[in-house]
Amino acid sequence: MSRIGNKPVIIPEKVELNISENIISVKGPKGELSTEVVDARVKFEINENELIFSRTSESPDVKSLHGLYRSLVANDIQGVTEGYSKILILQGVGHRATLKGSDIEILCGFSHPVLFNKVEGISYEVPDQNTIIVSGIDKALVGQVSANIRAIKPPEPYKGKGIRYKDEYVRRKAGKAAVTAGA
């Protein structure tokens, strides 16, 4: 039994939900998103101010799709009402970020600055030179753009320099000096 799939999705007052065939469109104060339910074995219906998902089969793949589609629509509703954001921290001497128009210029230890271009539907903020805030209404897109920025210079385990998420823990290693001191 899919516990996530059986939970009803509560539709807030300021959100408009439209269903046409197999596409669920969500419109709210921050924008509009839609999710396509590809598998016909997962059914959905609106009951008062709740969206309820059900399935026609008990096979494991249908159970997983049941929870998946419920989560996707719930993420869409949260995105159009509140939005999503991820905070990235630049760690290291000389590492900094600046906004160049709508793009981000990142200096992170390379011989040249790295220019990260604007992505449609995503907004960037740079409150100080060591912090980047990636915001948007699509949870998957915010996560992917954040991962692409982090991939420019991931944190290294010896000094911890690089780009990391705000709540990310970087496991540190002992360098060569600690190995030779014990011998």
CATH number at residue 151: 3.90.930.12
Q: Which of 50, 81, 112 is the last residue of a domain?
A: 81
- Is residue 31 within 8 A of residue 14, CB to CB? The reply is no
Residues 17 and 74 in one domain: yes
Mean per-residue pLDDT, 25-52: 89
Contacts of 40 (CB under 8 A, 6+ apart): 22
Q: Which of 81, 113, 143 is the last residue of a domain?
A: 81
Residues 74 and 88 in one domain: no
Give the structural domain span for 40. 3-81
pLDDT in tens, 6-31: 888 999 999 999 888 889 999 999 99
Structure tokens at 37: 């339910």
Q: Whole-prediction pTM value? A: 0.87
pLDDT in tens, 97-143: 999 999 999 999 899 999 999 999 999 999 999 999 999 999 999 99
- Is residue 159 within 8 A of residue 153, CB to CB? The reply is no
Assigned domain for 175 exists: no
Residues 150 and 105 in one domain: yes
